Amino acid sequence: MKTRTLGKDGLTVSAVGLGCMGFTQSYPPYPDRKDAIATIRRAVDLGVTFFDTAEVYSYGRNEELVGEALQPVRDQVVIATKFGYDLAEMPDLTTSARPVSLSSRPETIRRAVEGSLHRLRTDHIDLYYQHRVDPNVPVETVAETISELIKEGKVLHWGLSEAAPATVRRAHAVCPLTAVQSEYSLWYRKPEAELLPTLEELGIGFVPFSPLGKAILTGRFNRDTKFDKSDFRSAIPRFQGDNLKHNMELVEYVEKLARMKQTSPARIAIGWLLAQKPWIVPIPGTKRIERIEENIGGEDIRFTTEELDDIRRHLDRIEIRGGRYPEDQEKMTGL
Question: pLDDT (tens digit, 9 = 90+) per residue, 230-286?
Answer: 888 988 999 999 999 999 999 999 999 999 999 999 999 999 999 999 999 999 999
3-state secondary structure of 23: helix
Cα(137)–Cα(27) distance, rounded to whole angstroms? 31
Backbone angles phi, psi at 242, to 5 degrees: -65, -30
Q: In angstroms, how far is CA 247 from the centroid of its own chain?
A: 22
Cα(331)–Cα(335) distance, rounded to whole angstroms? 9
Query: Are 158 and 127 contacting, i.e. CB atoms less than 8 angstroms apart?
Result: yes
Window from 24-33, 38-47, 192-201, 281-290 with minimum mean pLDDT: 24-33
Mean residue pLDDT of the chain comes to 94
- Is the pLDDT assigned to residue 1 strictly greater than 60? yes
3-state secondary structure of 44: helix
pLDDT for position 135? 96
3-state secondary structure of 38: helix
Query: Are 186 and 213 contacting, i.e. CB atoms less than 8 angstroms apart?
Result: yes
Task: Give me the catalytic one of 27, 30, 57, 325.
Answer: 57
Question: pLDDT (tens digit, 9 = 90+) per residue, 192-235?
Answer: 999 999 999 999 999 999 999 999 999 889 888 888 888 889 88
The domain segmentation of the chain, as residue ranges, is 3-213+272-302
Q: State pTM to two decimals.
A: 0.94
Cα(191)–Cα(276) distance, rounded to whole angstroms? 12
Query: Are 187 and 250 contacting, i.e. CB atoms less than 8 angstroms apart?
Result: yes
Told to judge if 57 belongs to the known catalytic residues of this protein, a careful annotator would answer yes
The CATH homologous superfamily of the domain defined by 3-213+272-302: NADP-dependent oxidoreductase domain (3.20.20.100)
3-state SS record for 266-329: HHHHHHHHHHHCCCECCCCECCCHHHHHHHHHHHHCCCCHHHHHHHHHHHHHCCCCCCCCCHHH
pLDDT for position 285? 96
- Is the pLDDT assigned to residue 326 strictly greater than 90? no
Q: Which amino acid appears at position 70 of this protein?
A: L
Q: At a CB cut-off of 8 Å and minimum separation 6, what does 16 contact? A: 1, 48, 50, 270, 274, 281, 282, 283, 284, 295, 296, 298, 299
